[in-house]
Chains A and B, each alone.
Chain A
Amino acid sequence: MNDTILGLLAFGLVLLTALSSLVLAYLRRKSGISLRIIPAYRNLRRAVGRVVEDGSRLHLSLGRGGLVTPQSASSLAGLALLRRLGNITSITDRPPIATCGESAVTLLAQSTLQRVAEEMHLAPDPSSARLTGLTPFSYAAGAIPAIRDENVSITMMMGNFGVEAALLLDACDRANVLSVAGSDHLTAQAVIYAGAGEPLIGEEVYAAGAYLESSPLQAASLVVQDGLRWLLIAILVGGVLLKVAGLL
């Protein structure tokens, strides 16, 4: 199969996903779409409610994924989550803080938190979103004081992390801070499963938007994602059966 056909097929898949999401969102705009329960998000909602009541802070660690790299999707998911958490906590006088290991993501996080501060009628604080380091360990070392010293009660880790995630999770444990964590990196997922209070596995990282502030399009996109997964399972099983039968 040459590159042109492969490219067109891939583009067709993207179009199919986009159209299915739009159509499903339109058809179910009134009745709504029920999503399966992800314990981490259910517990996060409760914990965010407690943050609003007790006046502590929420810390979002956005990892090291850049915007022009394959890891950008997890960084975008983290930024979208920051926006939502900012909206939810905007009734308090303690805006969330964000730590990043990549410069462009830091700028976007600053822009998001500036908007949250404006809504809270507070002066924007340029240090609420900060670049803590550009290498994995310097990033972790710079983010640990934020967890420890800034009256944080929840740390969300969402983005691209490596094994350094273990240091951040350990800091959460020591400071008695609830950790909700997910990454697109396989090694980090293993570390997060062992160390996080509430781990997010696989594509659960990208579902934050739909679970925290659902819009029809967000919920529909998750249903389409599940549909695509079943399609891929069917293709894999079919391929194996054809191979065993000697037809492929």
Chain B
Amino acid sequence: MKPKGLFSIIVASVFGLLVLTGYFIKLSLLVKISDLFLNWAILLAAFAVLLGIFNLLIVHMRKMASRQKGSGYSLLLVLAMLTTFVIGVIIPFYPKAAPALDFVFRAFQLPIEASLMAILTVTLVYSSIRLLGRRLNVFSIVFLLTVLLILLGTVSFPFLGTLPWLSDLIRPFVAQVLAGGGARGLLIGVALGSLVMGLRVLFGADHPYGGK
């Protein structure tokens, strides 16, 4: 391993261990050091947002320059981004510009995201239909049956209303006991995985950053 890579691992491990220890052991000095490092991390993350947006701008400008497929959309994106950015920056100095930003969100962002949500409904139904074709096994059948039971137990039918046994007994049992228990099991698994992943990063077994 090159010295630069080793240095990155040592820095990550030392800082990570200090923050971890400060989180669990409430010694005044340790807590202060831990909070200081966390604040640095938050500051860096905030600055990273600006860099990330700059990256987005560069990617789309390169796309336009090389006349790649969809470069017209890239032009729209760059124009919209710059306009919104300029409006956002001038608001503290010129508060009358605030409604313009509000308009951008209400007229563009909200309807577009709502449309994508609508597409999502169709996509989820389509995925469920295709599930048995993709993986025909017991788990897929149980998955689809659960989806159907929950949907049937939730909807209200014309003239009939809700189905009594299904909506009062079966749906709550499936949703709150069976699915709830399964969800907790998955969450415990995720928590254990997070713990072990964090330790691997601290020991340098996994180092998700540059340096050889």
Contacts and interface: CB of A to CB of B under 8 A. Distances in A.
Interface of A: 3-4, 7-8, 10-11, 13-14, 17-18, 21-22, 66-68, 70, 73-74, 76-80, 82-83, 100, 102-104, 106-108, 110-112, 114-115, 119, 126-127, 129-135, 137-138, 140-142, 145, 149, 163-164, 166-167, 169-170, 173, 184, 186, 189, 191, 193-195, 197, 201-203, 205-207, 209, 215, 217-218, 221-222, 224-225, 228-229, 232
B25 A221 contact: no
A112 B209 contact: yes
B70 interface: yes
A133 B52 CA distance: 9
Contacts of A134: 49, 52
A91 B183 CA distance: 41
Given A14-B20, A67-B45, A131 B52 contact: yes
Contacts of B63: 127
A225 B70 contact: no
Contact of B25 (A8, A115, A186): A8
A236 B134 CA distance: 36
Contacts, number: 209
Contact of B134 (A119, A197, A224): A197
Residue among A18, A119, A130 with most chain B CB within 10 A: A18
B186 interface: yes
Most buried by A among B49, B55, B192, B200: B200
Interface in B98-118: 109, 112-113, 116-117
Contacts of A77: 193, 197, 206
Given A130-B56, A166-B123, A191-B127, A203 B190 contact: yes
B196 A21 contact: yes
Chain A, interface SS category: helix
B58 A115 contact: no
A164 B120 contact: yes
Contacts of A79: 208-209
A169 B127 contact: yes
A18 B20 CA distance: 13
A7 B127 contact: no
A104 B48 contact: yes
B210 interface: yes
Given A7-B26, A115-B210, A193 B195 contact: no
B160 interface: no
Nearest to B77: A142
Interface residues of B, number: 69
Contacts of B192: 203, 225, 228-229, 232
B96 interface: no
Given A14-B195, A193-B143, A194-B124, A137 B113 contact: yes
B45 A66 contact: yes
A222 B196 CA distance: 8
Interface of B is mostly: helix
A17 B198 CA distance: 11
Contact of B51 (A78, A103, A173, A229): A103
Nearest to A104: B48
A209 B195 contact: no
Contact of A203 (B68, B193, B211): B193
B196 A224 contact: yes
A170 B128 CA distance: 11
Contact of B126 (A170, A201, A205): A170
B205 A209 contact: yes
B45 A68 contact: yes
B76 interface: no
Contact of A184 (B49, B190, B208): B190
B24 interface: yes
A-B interface, 8 closest residue pairs, ranked by CB to CB distance from nearest? A103-B52, A79-B208, A203-B193, A111-B210, A206-B193, A73-B194, A11-B24, A202-B189
B55 A194 contact: no
Contact of A206 (B20, B128, B197): B197
Given A77-B197, A149-B70, A163-B120, A131 B190 contact: no
A167 B52 CA distance: 23
B64 interface: no
